[in-house]
Amino acid sequence: MQPLARDKRPFHFGTNFKMNQTPAETARFLADLAPRLNQNRVPETVRLFVIPPFTSLPMAIAARETAGLTSRVWIGAQNVHWATEGAYTGEISVPMLTSIGVDLVLLGHAERRGLFGETDEALAKKVPAALVAGLQVLLCVGETAEEKAFGVGPETVTRQLKIALHDVGNEALSRLLIGYEPVWSIGAGGTPARPQDVMETVVPLRHALTEKFGAAGQNVPILYGGSVAPDNCGDFVTLEEIDGLFVGRAAWQVEGFERVLQAALVARGDIRGDAD
Ligand code: PGA
């Protein structure tokens, strides 16, 4: 597979609601999103995704269809187990997600790793299980503040990536997305990364992807996440290796989702700004 030129690589943009939004609130978000995409002339080539809690997934899928967004917005789950079924109380399997029409699964988010003990070894089983079943996988990697202070950010994320992708073959690669989210940049106490922080880490990540998958590794989208907001998103989307944004708080309400998306597309030159 030939590497795609930067202007041919699709831009990805989405949000993770974390433990927020009831099914009704999720449905309203999707209903309100459709007219905003048209109003802002968001190109059809932009790949959008929304990752609500498990309880909102069926409603999100129905609301997306009603809003006419089925081909434009992927609906994602926030986690999945690697086994197809079994005695795993509280867990959800890949067939459970695919049977209701879920498109994507988020794996390795910093909160799952940090608060719920998700390990690289567990991810090494989850990522291939989800990819093989046809789900898109958004695999998150990121170093902590301590790891950054000790100068081992690039090694940390490369290690996370290599373990999680150990059993992934090239045939599944078109469904893989990587989210680079420095742990110190996430959430209310987080500081947005500087462009040089992002490049310092993302270049070794890209190198690890091409080492494992050859030229096809160039086409795996790498998204930035962590305190993304309308006033800083331009710093990230103009970086050579960044193919999208993964947004938390700033996009939980549809007005915010629209504002960040619009600012990112203006910064990329995909749409015109108000001042143009
Ligand atoms: P934030 O969250 O944008 O609220 O910092 C990002 C994330 O956790 O993915």
**Any domain includes 275:** no
Is the torsion defined by CA of 228, 46, 206, 140 positive or negative?
positive
Which amino acid makes up residue 210? T
Q: Locate all alpha helices (DSSP H) within 67-215, ordered by sequence.
A: 94-99, 110-116, 120-132, 145-149, 153-164, 195-213
Cα of 2 from ligand 1 centre, angstroms: 32
User: Structural domain of residue 216, as residue ranges?
Assistant: 6-268
Q: Whose CA is nearest to atom 7 of ligand 1?
A: 248
Cα of 249 from ligand 1 centre, angstroms: 6
Is the torsion defined by CA of 140, 194, 53, 113 positive or negative?
positive
Cα of 223 from ligand 1 centre, angstroms: 12
Give, for all 276 residues of the chain, the pLDDT tens digit: 667 777 788 999 999 999 999 999 999 999 999 999 999 899 999 999 999 999 999 999 999 999 999 999 999 999 999 999 999 999 999 999 999 999 999 999 999 999 999 999 999 999 999 999 999 999 999 999 999 999 999 999 999 999 999 999 999 999 999 999 999 999 999 998 999 999 999 999 999 999 999 999 999 999 999 999 999 999 999 999 999 999 999 999 999 999 999 999 999 999 988 755
Best residue among 139, 141, 186 to mutate for probing ligand 1's pocket (most ligand atoms within 8 Å of CB) is: 186
Alpha-carbon distance values, 48 to 11, 115, 178 (Å): 9, 27, 15
Exposure of 218 in the CB half-sphere (CA atoms within 13 A)? 11
What SS3 class is residue 72?
coil
**Any domain includes 274:** no
**Any domain includes 100:** yes
**Any domain includes 32:** yes
**Any domain includes 276:** no
Q: Which atom of ligand 1 is the closest one to the Cα of 250?
A: 3
The CATH number assigned to the domain holding 33 equals 3.20.20.70
**Residue 181: active-site member:** yes
**Any domain includes 149:** yes
Pick the catalytic residue from 109, 111, 118, 143. Answer: 109
List residues bridging with 180 in a β-sheet: 141, 224
**Nearest CA among 119, 130, 149 for reference residue 76:** 130
**Any domain includes 50:** yes
Q: Which atom of ligand 1 is the closest one to the Cα of 179?
A: 9
Give residues (CB < 6 A) around ligand 1: 16, 181, 186-187, 190, 225-228, 246-250
Cα–Cα distance for residue pair 59/80, rounded to 1 Å: 19
Number of independent structural domains in the chain:
1
- Which H or E element spans position 259? helix 254-268
> Whole-structure pTM over 0.85, yes or no?
yes
8 A C-beta contact, residue 243 and residue 196: no
Cα–Cα distance for residue pair 61/97, rounded to 1 Å: 11
**Any domain includes 55:** yes
